[in-house]
Structures are given as C-alpha cells and as structure tokens.
Amino acid sequence: MKHRTTEDLVKILESTHTTGDLSDYLEKMEQRTPYQSFPDYFLSLDAVKRYTNPEIVQLSGIERSYYYQIIDKRRHPGRDKVISLALGCGIGLEDTNRCLKFAGLAPLYPRNRRDAILIFAIEEDLTVLEANDLLFQFKQETLS
C-alpha cells in the first residue's frame, strides 16, 4: 500500500468483504506507517533533527517541562503548541499539517483568517515571535 491516494484506499476497502481481508488491509497499513503519534512523526523530521531538545524549546517558545511531557507522550499538545514547534524548527506547510494530523488536530485551513496568517508565516519561514507579531497586527489571537 505504498503511496496510494485516499480514493484508492477507499476503493480497496469497498471491495473488502471478509474480516480476513480487513485484517490484511489493517496489517499492511500499520506496516506502512511507523508513526503512531505526534512525537514519533515530529522527531523523525529532518528539520527537527538539526536541533537539540533545548534548542527546540528555545525556538518554539514552549515551556521546557511541557515540551518534554509532549515528547514523552505524557501530554497531548494543542494546536498552537504543534504550530509553535513547527515554526520553531522551520518545518514546511505539508509537514506542519501532518504534525497536526498525527496530534489529532485540524490542519491549517486557508479560508480561516488566522490560519491564513499562520500559513503565510510558515511559508515565509518566520519565527514564532514574528508570527505572533503578524497575528497581533491583524488582530488575531497569538500563539499561546
């Protein structure tokens, strides 16, 4: 099941009629995705691997103990924290949205005013502070 579209996967599932076939499908999906959580995916990214944990804490503006609780899977990050981590590490838009997905959160949506500003900040490789300044300038809630 390598590099198939969601549409392709739905067609496969529609043609699955036995629990044995379903079991095979699910097993292949688990083998394909080694990332089971946000921290697993986030820490696998090349952009993140460039930094040490203390550097990520500093760049993202997230409180140190909270960051480690997220990475140790003791806490579940909110949307703003995931976006702050992504901005801090210079992660692109596609990987930021994947991070949000693995955290069980909504991706950035360009029709939403605040999200459009954050998309701009990610695309322009702004820091968390610069993104917050931009959000403030356009009268939007800053990243918490």
One domain, residues 62 and 120: yes
Q: Same structural domain for residues 73 and 14?
A: no
CB-based contact 115:91 (threshold 8 Å): no
Tell me how far CA of residue 37 lies from CA of 22, 42, 68, 76, 94, in angstroms: 23, 9, 15, 10, 17
| Residue 144 falls inside a structural domain | no
pLDDT value of residue 24: 84
Under 8 Å between Cβ of 107 and 93: no
Q: Are residues 1 and 64 in the same domain?
A: no
| For range 129-141, the mean pLDDT | 98
* Region 26-46 average pLDDT: 81
pLDDT over 70 (residue 31): no
107-113 mean pLDDT: 96
Residues 6 or more apart whose Cβ sits within 8 Å of residue 40: 34, 102
User: In this model, does residue 3 exceed pLDDT 60?
Assistant: no
One domain, residues 27 and 43? no
**pLDDT higher than 60, residue 2:** no
Number of structural domains in the chain: 2
| pTM reported for the whole predicted model | 0.79
Residue 6: predicted pLDDT: 72
pLDDT exceeds 80 at position 12:
yes
* Average pLDDT of the residues in 53-82: 97
pLDDT at 1: 43
What domain range includes position 17? 1-33
Query: Who's near 41: CB < 8 A, 6+ residues apart?
Result: 35, 98, 99, 102
